[in-house]
Structure 1
Amino acid sequence: MMMHTKISLRTLVPVLLLTALALVPVYAHLAQQPFYLTLFGRIVIFAIAAVSLDLLIGYGGMVSFGHALFFGLGAYVVGILAYYGVDNGFVHLAVTLALCAVVGVITGLISLRTSGIAFIMITLAFAQMFYFLAVGLKQYGGDDGLSIASGSHFGSLALDDPNVLYYVAFAVLCACLWAGSRIVNARFGMVLRGSRQNDRRMRALGFATLQYKLFAYVISAMVCGVSGMLNANLTHFVSPAYMTWTTSGDLIAMVVLGGLGSLVGPVIGSAAMLTVEELLKGYTDHWMIIFGPLIVVAVLLSRRGLYGLLTDLEVRIARHARAVESKV
């Protein structure tokens, strides 16, 4: 009975969520509410970034407080190339992946030689460095940001079309979840989790944990860069604000709220956080006063996040079933 409940809850909920996200453009068209396409497009894009961060925090134990750096790099690639009239999406994607990989290797080699608070502060410092670099780029808007006249074009697929952009982002999210599950359940993922538990012991067993961590860091950086690229197409605007510590904090909040080390959890956290945020904004300008305590309560209810609540519910259902069977 418990096995059946476990499969039905922990599999059914993510499937229903992804199905609902897939049907958003249809509902937006039927309801003639394009706003929903923008809102849930933002949710999907930030879910991609949160899933990439979960690989670091949830599986590698690396709390990066500068992950927004790569989100901003992806956005600026689209903005700067579009500024020069380059709208080829394949070029945007290639430059984004290459740039995030290079920056990821450089920053990773430095920051991964530390751990704990030192790692957090170094990743934050790198993000702030690039933030001030973007502010200093007066030719590209500086602190005021840069408007994007033309989005990324992948042949006949133009991300200027909100429906095309949404489904491309949704496809990327599904691909990230599939690839992420393969990675974390492979030997690589096992070593990464072992390093999180006891890095010294893993090194004593002969594993080059620094290389594993660096590889995870670079993969996460590249995926987050793609999410930034998609966000630039969604907003048609890029700003240094994308690289601030508050954006990194939002991504961490999504991961923790949804559930660390679950991949699907960050998607749930992104959907919950951005939906509640939008609802509260409709009622009051001081929505943060309400939003903060709500996150605290959600985390206190289950330290494993919203996705972890499913496990708690499964246990309660299993106990209740056993109690009923014992009485019978």
Structure 2
Amino acid sequence: MKAFTVSKAVTALMLAGLVLLPLYSQASGNVFILTLFTRIVILALAAASLNLIMGFGGMMSFGHAAYLGIGGYAVGMLAQEGVGSGFIQFPVALAASAIYALVIGALSLRTRGVYFIMITLAFAQMAYYVASGLARYGGDDGLTVYKRSDFSGLINLGNRVQFYYLCLACLLGVLFLIWRIVNSRFGLVVQGLRSNEQRMQAIGFPAKRYQLVCFVISGMMCGLAGALLANNTDFISPAVMYWTRSGDLMVMVILGGMGTLFGPVMGAVVFLLLEEFLSQITEYWALIMGPLLLLIVLFGRGGIMGMLGRAGRG
């Protein structure tokens, strides 16, 4: 109970900080911190979506960033063609991500281990090269989003505070949905397949069907993060889909704690704050970041949430 209380208290403090951050930003006049944490919240959403299949489902996808790019390009391409309504852009982003996840999942779930990882990576790289070849939409140079999504006056995405709270609401909504999924019969079956797929199939559960549905839901969630990311940066480029971005998302999940609800959020906050802090000190920040993350992974079994649990027991 003590360990549970420690991790729960830290999580509550983190969430309270995220909710109150715009008030601090306005009081201090520090606009940068709000911009930074808007990016953190969006990538935390993407990491949480990856955790659904990797942490709870045992599916090590190395191409998850493809859905970030697809969601972002859906917004950018529709804006380029004169469709600025968020009520159209966001559903299209979710649908496009879901369709791509369905294709990837239907093929990759036929394999296991390193083959599964390589197929998801191959599909992400394919999306990257397709986006790079879209000359009409910027190609390698990327696509500028000149006008943010319009929600008919309900919310102004041009307002930093309103946009931040929209991103935070989406993150909390996705976390709630993941919690409901994980604790449902469907989620228990998915977790059972992670532990022992042969036994679950032997008692009559169609493994591939459950895993594919979970894979598609995860892709849709990440597509939502992509749509928010395009609005946040007013720009989308093929680099968003590159394999290194998928690696960053995996690091966030592992750093925070795989298979925990708030672990990916904690991992995203720590990872991106470390990246920002170290990059201000030296241009060789990656040489410091790499060993730090390696030490945490090697000696902090279960990530940050695992360390909090052990600290509480101590």
Q: Give the TM-score normalised by the residue count of structure 2.
A: 0.98
Structure 1 contact 57–64 (Cα < 8 Å) conserved: yes
**Alpha-carbon offset, residue 158 of structure 1:** 2.3
d(CA) in 1 for partners of 2:127, 2:81 = 21
Which of residues 22, 33, 37 is equivalent to 1:36? Answer: 33
Provide the rounded CA distance (Å) in 2 between the counterparts of 1:234 and 1:131.
20
Equivalent-residue separation in structure 2 for 1:115 and 1:159 (angstroms): 42
1:17 is matched with 14
Task: Measure, in 2, the Cα distance between the counterparts of 1:278 and 1:302.
Answer: 22
Deviations along 1:143-173, one digit per CA (max 9) or x if unpaired, are 0001110011212112122211110010011
User: Could you say which residue in structure 2 is the equivalent of 1:128?
Assistant: 125
Mapped contact 2:258–2:303 kept (Cα < 8 A): yes
User: Using the alignment, how far apart are the partners of 2:242 and 2:4 within structure 1?
Assistant: 39
The one-character-per-residue Cα deviations of 1:8-30 (angstroms, maximum 9, x if unpaired) are 21221111101101111111111
2:102 maps to which residue? 105
How far apart are the structure 2 equivalents of 1:7 and 1:142? Answer: 49
- Shift in Å, 1:301: 2.3
Worse-superposed segment, 92-101 or 44-53: 92-101
Q: Does the 8 A contact of 2:90 with 2:224 survive in 1?
A: yes
Find out whether 1:89 has 2:86 as its counterpart: yes
Name stretches of at least 5 consecutive residues in structure 1 with no aligned partner: 317-328
Does residue 1:52 correspond to 2:49, yes or no?
Answer: yes
- Report what 1:212 is aligned to: 210
**Contact kept? 1:10, 1:311, Cα under 8 Å:** yes
Structure 2 distance, partners of 1:228, 1:258, is 21
User: What SS does the corresponding residue of 1:20 show, helix, strand or coil?
Assistant: helix
Partner of residue 320, structure 1 = none
Tell me the secondary structure at the aligned position of residue 150 of structure 1. Answer: coil
Q: Of the candidates 295, 303, 306, which is equivalent to residue 305 of structure 1?
A: 303
Inter-partner Cα distance in structure 2 for 1:182 and 1:313: 28
Give the superposition deviation at 1:313.
1.1
| Deviations 1:209-247 (CA, angstroms, capped at 9, x unpaired) | 111100110000000000011011110000000000000
Provide the secondary structure at the position in 2 that maps to 1:154. Answer: coil
- How far residue 7 of structure 1 moved from its aligned partner, in angstroms, is 4.0
**What is the identity, as a one-letter code, of the residue corresponding to 1:242?**
V
AA aligned opposite 2:234:
H
C-alpha deviations, 1:174-217, integer Å up to 9, x for none?
11111111111111111111111111111001001111100110
Match of 1:324 in 2: none
The offset of 1:256, in angstroms, is 0.3
For the 8 Å contact 1:152–1:160, the answer to whether it is kept is no
Aligned letter for 1:277?
E
**Identity score, percent:** 48
2:197 corresponds to 1:227: no
List, as ranges, runs of 4+ consecutive aligned residues in structure 1 with deviation greater than 2 Å.
none
Whole-angstrom distance in 2 between the partners of 1:12 and 1:130: 41
CA distance in 1, matches of 2:232, 2:172: 18
1:260 to 234, 258, 268: 258
Query: How big is each residue's C-alpha offset from its partner over 1:61-118, in whole Å with a ceiling of 9 and x where there is no partner?
Result: 1000000010000000111111122211110111011111111111110011111100
Q: Which amino acid aligns with 1:94?
A: P
Kindly tell me the number of residue pairs found equivalent between the two proteins. Answer: 313
For the residues of structure 2 that align with 1:312 and 1:8, how far apart are their CA atoms? 12
- Any conservation in 1 of the 2:142–2:237 contact (CA below 8 Å)? yes
Contact 2:4–2:309 (CA<8 Å) still a contact in 1?
A: no
What amino acid sits opposite 1:281 in the alignment? S
Q: Which moved more, 1:85-94 or 1:66-75?
A: 85-94
Task: Kindly provide the amino acid, as one letter, of the partner of residue 215 in structure 2.
Answer: Y
Q: Give the Cα separation in 2 of the matches to 1:301 and 1:151.
A: 43
Between the aligned partners of 2:149 and 2:69, the Cα distance in structure 1 is: 16
Q: Is contact 2:3-2:311 (8 Å) kept?
A: no
Distance (Å, rounded) in 1 between the aligned partners of 2:224 and 2:260: 21
- Aligned partners of 1:280, 1:301: CA distance in 2, in Å? 22
Spell out, residue by residue over 1:254-284, the C-alpha distance to the aligned partner (whole angstroms, 9 max, x if none): 0000000002000000000000100001100
- What is the TM-score normalised by the length of structure 1? 0.94
- SS at structure 2 position matched to 1:151: coil
The 5-angstrom pairing of residues 168-317 of structure 1 reads 168-316=166-314
Question: 1 CA distance for matches of 2:159 and 2:112?
Answer: 43
For the residues of structure 1 that align with 2:106 and 2:204, how far apart are their CA atoms?
A: 20
For residues 7 and 303 of structure 1, do their structure 2 counterparts lie closer, same or farther at Cα, with a shift above 3 Å needed? closer
The letter of the residue matching 1:27 is Y
Contact 2:4 2:312 in 1 (8 A): no
**SS of structure 2 residue aligned to 1:250:** helix
2:245 is matched by which residue type in structure 1?
T
C-alpha RMSD of the superposition: 0.9
Q: Who is 1:323 aligned against?
A: none
